[in-house]
Amino acid sequence: MVRELVTSGKYDLFFNLCDGGRDEKRAGVDVVQALEEMNAAFTGSDSHSFEPSKIDMKLMVGSSGVRVPNFVLLENAESLAKKCRHLRFPVIVKHLSGYASVGIHKDNRCENLEQLKTKVVRFVKEFNHALVEEFIVGREGTVLACADAQSPHGVKVFRPLMFHFLDSGDDFAYFDKKWTMECNEKAYGFLPAEDPAYAGIIDMARNAYRNIMSCVGYGRVDFRIDDKNGEPVFLEINPNCGMWYSEKDGGDFADVMVKGDPTWNHERFLQNAISRALREQAARKPWYFISHDKHGQFSTRASRNVPAGKCLFGDAVHPIPVVSRALFKVGEDSPSVGCVVCRADGIHEAVAIRHSCEPNMQFVHGRTLLFAAKRNINVGEELTVDYATLRDEAMPHFACGCGTKNCRSVIFAVPAMPRTVEVKTMRKMLREKKRIWVKEKVDREAEQLLRKKAAGGGSGGGSHK
């Protein structure tokens, strides 16, 4: 259905409100993946950050200095005391996914090991896992973030909302409470800008949005303010959070934050989302194209000008990490060698890159790598790299015919070496490898010549009979 709508040519952009989780029978990431496959312009999160797990979130924001609760992921309740020995009670049991507060009920907060064991057994039986994390005693709130070039660091963070309904005896937003409460001023209130935690919350939300969602789409960050020290603690981010609910239904938290900002409204939010979607569509267009040259060999060329130093694979334009692979026929005396750049996630999306002794691209580091433009690359220019820098020790030596001024004639695989190795040592090693290769080639040619002579002599003897 999505592909039919895209190929119809009737729509310039798709406004995506689908937010179904993987375990739900609702449209979700499959819609986003179809839109990306067709390179259609669409609002909201991309497929890479549509539904990150809570552990992925914690790792990505925790590594940037944002505080997250201590946690452990369990598959059963065995040796529970040992597995949770680094946690302090109270703790809370959660689902690995963050959508719609699934699995979160009032009894998920546990005060001791006995309560935790009872809850974990039931939770694992229903969901096959249980994420146990320290419960942060304090106020709870949420804050909306989106990409905006006019805001500090390119991220617009709206005024945080604090949950008032937690003052009625409930100390966290569990599923039933969240979906039965009325979204009105009795349920929430804006955090004053002079609150000591305000600046920290804005900074936390900005970092979470940048590190988890890569500044694509919009998301709502849930947090708690620790009563002990007043420090904000990241809980999770909700990509493609609910928005644009009717006013008679009270809207949603994100709607409230947009309306409550004196410099923003829904119209500006929508225009910003559209402009970002069109920009991201342009960024997704490949900067290269693959074809055959006049000799029937694969050739990859630039489809637009590329400045020197720009990362070409493995960056925001090509967000999946990539791996270089040397390709060759096994068992050939004089093999022809090729190179492809493959996605590291196993999906078949390969780019063929040919060798040159004077390449226009270079590896930044290792075999799981970044490619960078070594110099300015013009539209239509073939993309090349020095195969000797592949660091693939399985690659055989091969004769080079790149035709450049500094062609080395024979290319050898350079093994990964410590940075302390001197250039003289490297050159000496390569000269020795070349000498051995030339000797082996001469020996092979001599052996082939003897075989031809022997075969010719045998046929000649037969003709004299």
What is the pLDDT at residue 395? 78
Beta bridge mates, 289: 301
The one-letter amino acid at 386: D
Residues 6 or more apart whose Cβ sits within 8 Å of residue 381? 301, 302, 360
From residue 221, alpha-carbon distances to 17, 45, 96, 146, 180 in Å are 18, 14, 16, 11, 21
**pLDDT value, residue 179:** 54
Low-confidence residues of the chain, pLDDT below 70? 23, 98-102, 165-170, 172-185, 247-251, 314-339, 341-349, 364-370, 391-392, 415-430, 432-433, 456-465
If one counts every other C-beta atom within 10 angstroms of the C-beta of residue 336, the result is: 12
Host H or E run for residue 224: strand 218-226
Encode 151-170: b = buried (16+ Cβ within 10 Å), e = exposed. Answer: eeeebbbbbbbbbebbeeee
What's the pLDDT at 158?
A: 98
The per-residue pLDDT for 1 is: 82
Cα–Cα–Cα angle for 129, 132, 138, rounded to 5 degrees: 145
Secondary structure letter of residue 320 according to DSSP: S
Paired residues of 326 in beta bridges: 339
Residue 220: is it exposed, middle or buried by C-beta count within 10 angstroms (0-12/13-18/19+)? Answer: buried
Tell me phi and psi for residue 337, to 5 degrees: -115, 140
pTM of the model: 0.72
Q: pLDDT at position 156, please?
A: 97
Structure tokens of 49?
Answer: 């950050």
Is residue 426 classed as helix, strand or coil in its secondary structure?
Answer: helix
The CA distance from 334 to 381, in Å, is 28
- Which pLDDT does position 420 carry in this prediction? 43
